[in-house]
Amino acid sequence: MAFLAVEDRAPKSRVVGRMVIGLLVAIVFLVPYLVMFLGSVKTRDEILSYDPSYLPKDGWQWDNYSAMWDTPETPLPYNLISTIVIALAATVLVLLVAVPAAYYTARFRFPGRLAFMGLVILTQMLQPAILTTGLVREMLLLDIGDTWLAMILINAAFNLAFATWMMHSFFAAVPKEVDEAAQLDGAGKFRTLFTVNLPLVWPGIVTAVIFTFVSAWNEFAASLVILTTAENQPLSVALTKFVGQYNTSWQFVFAISIVSIIPVVILFFFIEKRLVGGLAAGAVK
């Protein structure tokens, strides 16, 4: 069990103390989703029962998890694929765009540097939610209304600020000597960035990747109006299809919500170890 490994030499009592606190922290962060999960295995009537119970009383409705994939309301398998494609592509795009910009602005002074960083942060202040009218028109003008590409561009554009600023602060913390050494070896700027700097800033990349992926994964306002074909819509929009005028299929809403958390946690599982490392691992001698 790799995750049980202890890397330092803290006294045993302190380690036990940390484990207890850790358990409490985990519980606090998970309880709402436990409620969500328990709701997802109840019947609709039980969720809205005036005589609530914590655990399902009428049996655990595991078939909510199979029934939700095939409902008349929304083509859920397609929605899942759309969400994955849009979020992954937007994240990759953000990295491709933000890393060079962050590196250069952190390493070099040039006129317009502050203006550029200011422009970038403006994109964070403007959220798609209040720009939907313009976004719809724009995507129709570009002739990519109702496509994944439209949402990939939108998600990337409105989320590049954090990645750029975060990576900027990490690149800025990498000592110049690292670059200089690489360049003495004859490396160009691109190679210096990719082979020398990037491995040192993994924690920043990880945080930026999660931030972008999660934002794109859960984006709602623009997807709602831009993606009109049910198959193209992401899970966040698909969920609303279960909300009727006078009744809502809460069991499906909860089940889909639980399912949509999983890919993000899996992504996190694979990149979490990169949080350690970088400068702390002592790459700088």
Partner 1 sequence: MTTSTASEPEDQAAKPATRRRPKPQGGGFPAALPWLAPALLLILVVVVFPAGYMIYNSMRHIGKNAVDDGWAEPTRKGPDWGVFSNFGHIFTDPNLPRILLNSLVWVVVVVVFTVVISLVLAQFLSKPFPGRRLVRMAVVVPWAASVVMTTTVFYYAMDPNYGTLNHLLEQLHLVGPDGFGFTKSPVSALGSAMAIAVFVSLPFTIYTLLAGIQSVPADTIEAAKMDGAGRLRTYFSVVLPQLRNSLAVAVLINMINVFNNLPILQIMTKDLPGYESDTLMTYIFKTMQFDKRIDWASALSVLNFAIVALIVLIYVRVVKPLKEV
Partner 2 sequence: MKKTWRTGALAVAAIGALALSSCGFSGDKGGDSASGSGGGSGESVALTMLIPTYSDGTKGLWEKTISAFEAKNPNIKITLEVQSWENIEGVLSNKIQSKQAPDIYNGGAISSFAEAGQLAKAEEITSPETLANFTDSFSENEKVAGTQYGLPLIASDRALFYNKALMKEAGVTDVPKTWDELLEASKKIKDKTGNPGYGMPLGKEEAQAEAAMWILGAGGSLGDEQNITIENDQTKDAFAQMKKMMDAGVTQSNPGSTQRTPMMSGFVQGKMGFVYALPPTAADIKKQNPKLDYGIAQPATKDGKPVTLGVADRLASFSQDQAKKDAVKKFMDFFFADDQYLAFVKGENFLPTTKSGATAMGSDEALKPFIDLLPSSKFYPTTNPAWSDTDAAFKALLGKLEKSSAEDIAKEIQAKADAAS
| Sign, Cα dihedral of 257, 260, 266, 267 | negative
| Sign, Cα dihedral of 49, 50, 53, 57 | negative
Whose Cβ is closer to partner 2: residue 88's or residue 258's? Answer: 88
Whose Cβ is closer to partner 1: residue 31's or residue 63's? Answer: 31
Q: Is 202 exposed, middle or buried (0-12, 13-18, 19+ CB in 10 A)?
A: buried
Q: Which of 66, 70, 188, 245 binds partner 2 (CB under 8 A)?
A: 245
Q: Which of 11, 13, 72, 109 binds partner 1 (CB under 8 A)?
A: 109
Buried b (16+ CB within 10 A) or exposed e, 77-104: eebbebbeebbbbbbebbbeebbbbbbb
**243 binds, options partner 2, partner 1, none, Cβ within 5 to 8 A by partner type:** partner 2
- Looking at the DSSP bridge assignments, the partners of residue 248 are 243
Q: In whole angstroms, how large is the CA radius of gyration of the chain?
A: 23
Whose Cβ is closer to partner 2: residue 17's or residue 52's? Answer: 52
Which DSSP string corresponds to 75-105?
Answer: -HHHHHHHHHHHHHHHHHHHHHHHHHHHHHH
Instruction: Give 280's Cβ-side CA count (13 Å radius).
Output: 8
Whose Cβ is closer to partner 2: residue 230's or residue 275's? Answer: 230
Whose Cβ is closer to partner 2: residue 120's or residue 253's? Answer: 253
Query: Taking CB under 8 A as the rule, which mask of x and - marks residues 155-184 in contact with partner 1?
Result: -xxx-xxx-xxx-xxx-xx--xx-xx--xx
CB of 108: closest distance to partner 1 in angstroms?
3
What is the C-alpha separation between 19 and 10, in angstroms, rounded? 12
**22 binds, options partner 1, partner 2, none, Cβ within 5 to 8 A by partner type:** partner 1
Binding to partner 2 (CB under 8 A): which residues in 206-235?
A: 224-225, 227-232
Number of residues that bind partner 2 (CB under 8 A): 50
Query: Taking CB under 8 A as the rule, which mask of x and - marks residues 211-240 in contact with partner 1?
Result: x--x--xx-x---------------x--x-
Contact call for residues 200 and 211 (beta carbons, < 8 A):
no
CB of 130: closest distance to partner 2 in angstroms?
12
Q: Which of 210, 248, 263, 275 binds partner 2 (CB under 8 A)?
A: 248
Tokens (6 digits) for 274: 């990169």
- Under the binding rule (CB under 8 A), the answer on residue 144 touching partner 1 is no
- Under the binding rule (CB under 8 A), the answer on residue 144 touching partner 2 is yes
**104 binds, options partner 2, partner 1, none, Cβ within 5 to 8 A by partner type:** partner 1
Contact call for residues 84 and 264 (beta carbons, < 8 A):
no
Helices (H), 142-281: 148-173, 176-184, 189-191, 202-218, 221-226, 235-240, 250-271
What is the C-alpha separation between 60 and 52, in angstroms, rounded? 15
Report the interface residues with partner 2, using CB under 8 A.
45, 48-51, 71-73, 78, 82, 85-86, 88-89, 92-93, 95-96, 132-133, 136-137, 140, 144, 146-149, 152, 194-195, 199, 224-225, 227-232, 240-249
